[in-house]
Structure 1
Amino acid sequence: MVKIFIGNLPREADKDEIQALFAKYGEVTECAIIKNFAFVHMDDRKSATKAIRSLHLHKLHGTAINVEASRGKKPGSSADELRTLFEEYGTVSECAIVKNFAFVHMDNSDEAMDAIKGLDNFEFQGYHHRHRPAITKRRMAPFD
């Protein structure tokens, strides 16, 4: 399984459209859109490499999308997806998930507060249960 990151995704793009776009190159086992980026999982490396080369800077609804192999340390890394989510609000210096908790360190306190406000009740990875609860203000707290 190879995980692919798609950035600069236009608002009009939907999951079925992204999945169909990548399915031209091989089997897509998973597709998830999070705001203006997405993650696609493909079955084999050869198909994924061909998709990345063919679709990088592909115009989707008039917008050139960024397509690259996910930089995760391991396939399916939730920490990478969480980091990307918080990076919409500012620079993330560290991100780690330990069991069902996450620690996100941001360089700027105003950006961190914006992230807390903007991500309140966001259902991370589409899950909202005891193992992957929604991100909530009650659970997020700035540290000094």
Structure 2
Amino acid sequence: MDKGQTIKLFVGNLALDTTQEELSAIFESYGQVVSCSVLRQFAFVHLQGEGAAERAIRELNGREFKGRNLVVEESRGRPLHSTKVFVGNLSSMCTTEDLRELFQTFGKVLECDKVKATGVCL
């Protein structure tokens, strides 16, 4: 991997009060943080450095931060002509299968994830 390559990472399951500064500080030990954007309970971190992204994913994915287990993975672009839908305020009884079944009536569901009490269908 080129030392100058920047990898965009998705960071999910963040506490609502997580700041850009806190998140940058966590990732700085893995490589140069080129940019960090916190958007409610998820963020995108652009990390530069040989092997930096792989190390960050390996060591931070599932790690507890502010009482929540982080989700850290390489950011994947959305397929063309698809829409990502956030569904909030879900019952703990609602499953990903329930969400998938509900949204399949509107079109093909490419991906469906439930993180705590929220859901995302693509």
Name the TM-score, length of structure 2 as normaliser: 0.61
| Equivalence for 1:87 | 85
Question: Relative to total residues, which structure has the larger strand share, 1 or 2?
Answer: 2
Matches of 1:12 and 1:45, distance apart in 2: 31
| 1:3 partnered with 2:1 | no
Q: Deviations over 1:45-70 (max 9, x none)?
A: 51111011100011111100100001
Where structure 2 has 5 or more consecutive residues not aligned to the other structure, the ranges are 1-5, 89-98, 100-105, 108-122
Which residues in structure 2 correspond to 1:24-63 (within 5 Å)?
Answer: 24-63=29-68
Where structure 1 has 5 or more consecutive residues not aligned to the other structure, the ranges are 74-78, 92-106, 109-144
Q: Report how far residue 13 of structure 1 moved.
A: 1.1
Structure 1 runs of 4+ aligned residues shifted over 4 Å read none
Amino acid at match of 1:39: F
Matches of 1:70 and 1:52, distance apart in 2: 11
Q: Deviations over 1:20-57 (max 9, x none)?
A: 00001110000001111000001135111101110001
Identity %: 35
Q: Report how far residue 71 of structure 1 moved.
A: 1.0
Matches of 2:49 and 2:9, distance apart in 1: 11
Count of aligned residue pairs for this structure pair: 85
Question: Relative to total residues, which structure has the larger helix share, 1 or 2?
Answer: 1
| Equivalence for 1:20 | 25
Matches of 2:14 and 2:30, distance apart in 1: 19
Check whether the contact 1:32–1:39 (CA below 8 A) recurs between aligned residues.
Answer: yes
SS in 2 for 1:3: strand
- Which structure is richer in relative contact order (CA contacts within 8 A, separation 6 or more)? 2
Name the TM-score, length of structure 1 as normaliser: 0.52
